[in-house]
């Protein structure tokens, strides 16, 4: 983006904040939930410590208690290395997978579902079996999952032309040409999904994909351009693909690597006994149930929350880390033989001394998508427009946001209030730094009003049925898989780590989904165990790209 465009984008942002109400009604009350940005922003300032209030010695320090860090701890424990400490800068572990709740229901504070794990997601299936969610043989091609977590029908619907339709792929009002293009797109995806002798072109975890010259060529262009090279240019298809990219990457298809866009559609081929392949696993708290299960297996006594790792230095035979308690300011010095960095990669150069210049440059250049969410608590059910009945996931065609999911959907009375709707919005239209500034500068009332406006085409009377709207901010919600991310040598360095210094975050994969965070956590922990015991890591559990 050139300077003139940057200035224009910056000037356009305040225009969004035209009103704190909607239709003359006051915005319902609420508070901010989720991550406290002030805690993370402490890492923007340097820190030199000449004192400490507490000294701790542990074999492995895991910095970051999101899905990657918790998975790393789980894998260490499976391998018999139980002398570890997990630190998390927020008051609760879980990162983008945390759940929250109120008197009506639990609800997600971030990720809200898990697709059926593919055959390549071996260790994720093992974890689900330990949590009692996968029943029977976890290595079965079509495992059986607990009925309570298989999303109930109807799963999703789309609002267009004043009507609700089943599913989110546009169907109503399509021309013959548009129908033909949508069919052609899914025929292409079906070919990419086929398994060959060497595996799959697109697999989960992404490092198990066939990363050949064809993959690298796809990574050099954006997804929207690739669609047009295939003769696929109809507006409903491009809207659908764009929606999918915004949903998983927080980024429109015109900015997403074509390889990453195709991976979204072609890699997810998990199956389950007694369920269709597009069914997902979900709970009122989103993926919070996975977090709760991991914390219970790891042990809360091994997790320190509200703890900010301010500085890490190498010392003879290991690492010395300085950790600040976010509430009291007390300093804990931790000495460890190994370090697993499971926080976002952009923070690593600010904290870890001695990283290679290429790694520092790569981490600093990662572009993160900012998100805002609204937890809309309803005391009564708003009138529904004609068409398909309310689903778990409800999307409005043409909206800048991603619609809402219903926290109470798994109940028998899913369509009835009281209920909590979780509204999602990935900010776009300007450089990420400006969008984060807008996210932090606007009050909760502004984003609550935005949620009501975005849902107004389907629910013009919604505010009359709302009890409160609590909002959630994720300034660095997810790394954007922009063209060129796949071939980055620095990304590969983070994937391999350096002996007892390992990295366990979805940032290494280039996009933020549960399967990738889990895989990176296992890979980092497996390498640490190998380094500590002097043996080779088992290749099926580690990834070099």
CA distances 117 to 138, 205, 523, 540, Å, are: 10, 10, 17, 17
Average pLDDT over every residue of 342-362: 95
Residue that the structure tokens 């993926």 belong to: 287
pLDDT of residue 228: 98
| Number of Cβ within a 10 Å radius of residue 317 | 8
Residue that the structure tokens 């805002």 belong to: 372
Average pLDDT over every residue of 399-421: 87
Q: What is the pLDDT of residues 203-214, one digit of tens each?
A: 999 999 999 999
Report the C-alpha gap between 223 and 236 in whole angstroms: 15
Q: What is the pLDDT of residues 316-334, one digit of tens each?
A: 989 999 999 999 999 999 9
Domain boundaries, the chain: 3-30+367-479, 52-98+286-365+491-541, 176-278
At 196, the pLDDT band (50, 70, 90 cuts) reads: confident
Tokens for 498, please give them.
């350096």
Question: 3-30+367-479 with 52-98+286-365+491-541: one CATH topology?
Answer: no
CB 247 within 8 A of CB 258: no
pLDDT of residue 239: 98
The hierarchical CATH code for the domain 3-30+367-479 is: 3.90.660
pLDDT of residue 444: 98
Quick one: what percent of the chain has pLDDT higher than 70? 94
CB 367 within 8 A of CB 255: no
Quick one: what percent of the chain has pLDDT higher than 90? 88
At 197, the pLDDT band (50, 70, 90 cuts) reads: low
Average pLDDT over every residue of 121-142: 96
The hierarchical CATH code for the domain 52-98+286-365+491-541 is: 3.50.50.60
Q: How far is CA 120 from the centre of its chain?
A: 19
At 46, the pLDDT band (50, 70, 90 cuts) reads: low
At 523, the pLDDT band (50, 70, 90 cuts) reads: very high
Average pLDDT over every residue of 436-451: 97
Q: What CA dihedral angle connects 360, 248, 291 and 142, to 10 degrees?
A: -120
Q: What is the pLDDT of residues 219-249, one digit of tens each?
A: 999 999 999 999 999 999 999 999 999 999 9
Report the C-alpha gap between 455 and 423 in whole angstroms: 9
Average pLDDT over every residue of 535-543: 96
Taking 50 as the threshold, does the pLDDT of residue 201 lie above it?
yes
Report the C-alpha gap between 388 and 72 in whole angstroms: 42
At 24, the pLDDT band (50, 70, 90 cuts) reads: low
Taking 90 as the threshold, does the pLDDT of residue 143 lie above it?
yes
Average pLDDT over every residue of 459-488: 97
At 464, the pLDDT band (50, 70, 90 cuts) reads: very high
At 23, the pLDDT band (50, 70, 90 cuts) reads: low
pLDDT of residue 64: 98
Q: What is the pLDDT of residues 484-512, one digit of tens each?
A: 999 999 999 999 999 999 999 999 999 99
CB 163 within 8 A of CB 172: yes
At 277, the pLDDT band (50, 70, 90 cuts) reads: confident
Q: Which CATH number fits domain 176-278: 1.10.3470, 1.10.405, 1.10.1660, 3.30.1490?
A: 1.10.405
Taking 90 as the threshold, does the pLDDT of residue 528 lie above it?
yes
Mean pLDDT of the chain: 93
Q: Which residues on neighbouring strands pair with residue 195, listed in sequence order?
A: 200
pLDDT of residue 40: 75
pLDDT of residue 375: 98
Taking 70 as the threshold, does the pLDDT of residue 120 lie above it?
yes
Can you give 95-112 as a three-state secondary structure string? Answer: HHHCEEECCCCEEECCCC
Q: 3-state class of 246 per DSSP?
A: helix
């Amino acid at each position: 983006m050139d300077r003139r465009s940057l200035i224009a984008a910056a000037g356009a942002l305040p225009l969004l904040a035209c009103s704190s109400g909607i239709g003359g009604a006051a915005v319902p009350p609420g508070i901010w939930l989720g991550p406290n940005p002030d805690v993370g922003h402490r890492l923007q300032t340097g820190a030199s410590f000449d004192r400490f209030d507490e000294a701790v010695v542990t074999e492995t320090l895991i910095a970051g208690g999101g899905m990657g860090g918790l998975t790393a701890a789980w894998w260490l424990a499976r391998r018999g290395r139980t002398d570890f400490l997990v630190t998390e800068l927020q008051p609760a572990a879980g990162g983008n997978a945390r759940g929250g709740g109120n008197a009506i229901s639990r609800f997600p504070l971030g990720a809200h579902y898990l697709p059926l794990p593919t055959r390549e997601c071996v260790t994720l299936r093992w974890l689900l079996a330990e949590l009692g969610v996968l029943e029977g043989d976890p290595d079965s091609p079509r495992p059986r999952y607990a009925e309570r977590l298989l999303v109930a029908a109807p799963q999703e619907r789309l609002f267009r032309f004043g009507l609700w339709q089943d599913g989110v792929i546009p169907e109503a009002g399509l021309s013959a040409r548009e129908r033909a293009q949508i069919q052609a797109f899914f025929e292409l995806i079906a070919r990419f999904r086929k398994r060959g002798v060497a595996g799959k072109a697109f697999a989960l975890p992404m490092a198990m994909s066939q990363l050949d010259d064809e993959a690298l060529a796809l990574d050099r262009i954006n997804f929207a351009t690739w669609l047009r090279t295939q003769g696929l240019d109809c507006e409903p298809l491009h809207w659908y693909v764009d929606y999918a990219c915004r949903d998983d990457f927080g980024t429109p298809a015109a900015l997403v690597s074509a390889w990453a866009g195709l991976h979204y559609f072609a890699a997810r081929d998990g199956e389950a006994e007694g369920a269709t392949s597009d069914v997902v696993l979900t709970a009122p708290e989103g993926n919070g149930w996975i977090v709760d299960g991991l914390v219970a297996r790891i042990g809360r006594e091994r997790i320190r929350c509200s703890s900010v790792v301010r500085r890490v230095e190498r010392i003879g035979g290991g690492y010395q880390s300085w950790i600040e308690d976010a509430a009291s300011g007390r300093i804990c010095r931790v000495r460890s033989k190994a370090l697993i960095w499971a926080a976002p990669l952009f923070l690593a150069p600010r904290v870890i001394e001695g990283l290679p210049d290429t790694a520092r440059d790569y981490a600093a250049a990662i572009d993160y998508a900012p998100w805002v969410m609204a937890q809309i608590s309803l005391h009564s059910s708003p009138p529904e427009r004609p068409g398909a009945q309310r689903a778990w996931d409800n999307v409005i065609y043409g909206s800048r946001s991603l619609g809402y999911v219903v926290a109470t959907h798994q109940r028998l009375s899913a369509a009835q209030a009281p209920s909590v709707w979780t509204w999602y919005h990935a900010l776009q239209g300007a450089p990420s730094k400006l969008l984060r500034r807008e996210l932090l500068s606007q009050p909760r009332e502004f984003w609550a009003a935005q949620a009501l406006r975005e849902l107004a085409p389907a629910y013009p009377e919604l505010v009359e049925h709302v009890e409160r709207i609590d909002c959630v901010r994720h300034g660095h919600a997810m790394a954007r898989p922009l063209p060129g991310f796949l071939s980055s040598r620095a990304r590969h360095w983070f994937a391999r780590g350096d002996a007892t210094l390992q990295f366990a975050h979805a940032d290494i994969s280039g996009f933020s989904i549960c399967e990738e965070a889990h895989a990176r956590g296992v890979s980092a922990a497996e390498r640490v165990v190998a380094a500590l015991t002097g043996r080779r890591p088992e290749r099926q559990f580690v990834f070099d790209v």
